[in-house]
Copies of this chain bind each other. A is one copy, B any other.
Amino acid sequence: MIFADFLRNRRREQLSASDLAALEDSVWDVQKTRARQLIAHARQPIRMSTYLMEGFICRYMDDRNGLRQLVAVHVPGDFVDLHGYPLGRLDHDVATLGACKIALVPHERLDRLLVERPNLTKLLWFSTLLDAAMHREWIFRLGRLDAVARVAHFFCEIEAKLRAVGLSDGQHFAFPLTQADLGEACGMTSVHINRMLRELRERNLMQVQRNRVTISDLSALRRLSDYDPSYLFIEG
């Protein structure tokens, strides 16, 4: 089962057995990729979309000087660049963070689903709009929060997303991002990320060590960063 985690704890009950089977059938290939590998280029037309089964993927834009701004971080269960289907090309790059397992879905097969399966189409549409909701939360984070809160807010989101697919117990989870990556996500330098992580550690809220995050006080972390996960549409 490739799409086992797709919309898990979201609206999966709206996915009929037959729609799910059609979705599974639309997969062209399942692949493993190494860490730090580019999997889709900005501006080029794309003919397939990538569904993430294992690992972490990010999307980012470059400025003139080659400095990156991450615009999304994806976890298993995410249909990473499904928006490339209606758009036809991407406005950003997509790359793996750690090693990943991905499924590739050709757009011609999505065309069939669009015509034959309105219910599934609406769920696929929904899933691309979840990404848009996350984008909005990132805008809020960058526009209104100070440095500590930005970092805390970022981890709150990752934790909530991972928990929805069973990869966090609320206290621990695997996490392949470096401090430089965090800087590119939060709009700050890796040096300052380091200081903010120290602050969060010293306040006994959370810590990061060797690709692993430990959260000791999730509710304090959420309070600190004004975090409300309702935009993720996770049930229960």
Contact = CB atoms under 8 A, between A and B. Distances in A.
A230 B87 CA distance: 12
Contacts of A128: 125, 128-129, 132
* Identical subunits present: 2
B143 A86 contact: no
B230 A122 contact: no
Contact of A140 (B61, B122, B126, B144): B61
Contacts of A118: 114-115, 118, 121
B187 A129 contact: no
A115 to B, nearest CB: 5
A92 interface: yes
Interface string A215-236: 0000000000010001101000
Contacts of A69: 139-140, 143-144
A110 to B, nearest CB: 10
Secondary structure dominating the interface of A: helix
Contacts of A187: 142-144
B233 A125 contact: no
Interface in A68-85: 69, 71, 83
A213 B187 CA distance: 29
Given A128-B132, A135-B135, A140 B86 contact: no
Interface in A11-63: 43, 59, 61, 63
A191 interface: no
A135 B118 CA distance: 27
Interface of A: 43, 59, 61, 63-64, 67, 69, 71, 83, 86-87, 91-92, 114-115, 118, 121-123, 125-126, 128-129, 131-133, 135-140, 142-145, 186-187, 226, 230-231, 233
28 contacts: A59-B136, A61-B136, A61-B137, A61-B140, A63-B140, A63-B144, A67-B144, A69-B139, A69-B143, A71-B139, A86-B122, A86-B125, A87-B129, A87-B133, A91-B136, A91-B230, A114-B122, A118-B121, A128-B128, A128-B129, A128-B132, A131-B132, A135-B136, A135-B138, A135-B139, A139-B139, A142-B143, A144-B187
